Chain A
């Protein structure tokens, strides 16, 4: 259809979605969005996935977006529909996930009247989104929707809310196609300043103890960025570590990978960060879970920082060479300049550096006590890892807690977009809906939510969604009967006073799976682990696995809050050198 077509607001919404290439949305109906639901009913291009809670609609859209590289789309009603979505929006904001969330609103003439199911959605979501809009004129609706998609996916991606009053959905107005609607003022810089890149390449080539510190921004920049990164890291021969959000940006199977860094990162990654002389940071944001004590963070290094968002540069850590741009463009330039100038790493220095790293690696920091008395959570994940070996179609999501960290440590990611976790906000309840979103976006793939018994109860109702759409998602609960991560901190910092961290009155997860119409499996002995994993993978339906693991295991390595990278604890026998200082205690 060409410019100037007259449609109702609800039809404009659907046409704009179609013109944006959307074929799937996640939502929940209500009075203020009934016209849009009616329009949905009368067409077949866009599939609506009915979730059981609006928070889950956003997480499912996040899982869909992160696993496919597309924008995730959400539809919720006014008032409670919109407020329920807020946690998901903030989650997407923190983790840079492109989401467009459409919310219904009371009719324009009632706005501000405390009308039924009215809330100030744009006011509430202003700090929860990258941007938001209230559309009061149907003739602005198409342009606003296209702009929302533009803003959600360009620059640093994030969630955008478009709040649409019900009368606007009924009104007739003019449709505009995407090409006619570009935001006036939002033009993020994607191509870097070449002088800066040249400077960076010279510094990289002169390094004696270099490290690549890679984050989720490389995944945001698309699979090509991961390929370019891998190529460049291999050309230099330098070690590479990734953040929790960056897992998969560089192949875990590559010997140059040091594992994840940060609070629960590997000994070798953290000590290499501490001791490096040149840090090449790409699409990572110096999060406090990564830097530890700021004043002791990599004290002797020159730092390069590539980021698409200038506000993330020099925010926590002062860097020497800031480069604003998209990771893919910058890496392309780096590779080209490196080749053109025939750069080569200082091989002698690099050998010494790798020798040092080998010493750190030899500490085998992910080692845990092997026993056949009790299922160690790490063991369960090692067996899962073995069962998944050789498969290229696996997507792992997680909830939040110890199980999330163990999954990050023990499951290998060789490709981007396969790892879905709530890093920035740390939202318990993220994993199951995210797995559902990934499964919708990747039919036929194996989508597993590695869960804790506490987290899974936060969005367990989504089992019903999985069953409705015949999604064979797997919930792999490492059931330690505790909010393990909370208990670990209480042990370390609060004199083992386990205030409210025991998971009392747990449901029987096998029966629960059954009640939802899925399949429940349990392993309580080491000898049962492999069979349960095999059965889980072979079952072509939604499965909940209740893996009864050691209730006392803690997650190591660990850098206690407020400590430096070189104060890392390797295991239960390691006691902190000094009590955690007060500035450390207040950190989360």
Chain B
């Protein structure tokens, strides 16, 4: 397989006008052209100028990822598109809320593992916990896998948020 065919995961930051339909445009682009979305997060980041930041995790060959970025850049409400994966070191975080129910030894074990993963307890009852965990997607996966054996009831996960390292902004 040549490097041209290698499929790689990319984290892309997009700055957009926070206007109705903008998310539909971005998602429609991915579904309409058959691109893959692993995760997507969006929230307003600049209230004064009504700008939102979208973080998309996608994957594809270099040619496809180049297409994805050019297609995104072409959308009228898009201000900036940045491929964090290609543009130098960056930080990426996800968050999950994880509910575990159980008593006795399993309950103690769940709390101990949460401690190791630096997960916080947001809610506790006699028979359950809700943990908040933040970390890389892999950290979250490992934590959730362990909780499965300890009475996992519910998971709610965000997609990735990400940012380049160093002083420069988007």
Contact = CB atoms under 8 A, between A and B. Distances in A.
Interface residues of A, number: 21
A576 interface: no
Interface stretch (A35-43, A269-277, A313-321): A313-321
B92 interface: no
Contact of B28 (A127, A151, A156, A183): A127
A314 B65 CA distance: 11
Given A127-B28, A127-B32, A314-B67, A185 B78 contact: yes
A314 B74 contact: no
Interface residues on B, range: 20 to 34
Interface in A293-327: 309-311, 313-315, 318
B73 A310 contact: yes
A235 to B, nearest CB: 32
A185 B63 contact: no
Contacts of A126: 21, 24-25, 28
Main secondary structure of the interface of A (DSSP, over half): loop
A314 B63 contact: yes
A184 B28 contact: no
B21 A185 contact: no
B76 A311 contact: no
Contacts of A318: 4, 63
Interface string A310-350: 11011100100000000000000000000000000000000
Interface string B12-32: 000001001100110010001
Contact of B70 (A123, A130, A311): A311
B66 interface: yes
A131 interface: yes
Given A126-B24, A127-B32, A310-B73, A185 B79 contact: yes
Interface string B50-86: 0000000000000100110011011111110000000
Nearest to A317: B63
Nearest to B62: A314
A184 B79 CA distance: 8
A153 to B, nearest CB: 13
A1 to B, nearest CB: 27
Interface in A243-280: none
Contact of A185 (B32, B66, B70, B77): B77
Nearest to B21: A122
Chain A CB count within 10 A is highest, among B4, B73, B74, B79, for B74
Contacts of A127: 28, 32
Interface of A: 122-123, 126-127, 130-131, 134, 151, 155-156, 183-186, 309-311, 313-315, 318
Given A123-B24, A185-B76, 6 more contacts: A122-B21, A130-B76, A186-B76, A311-B70, A314-B63, A318-B4
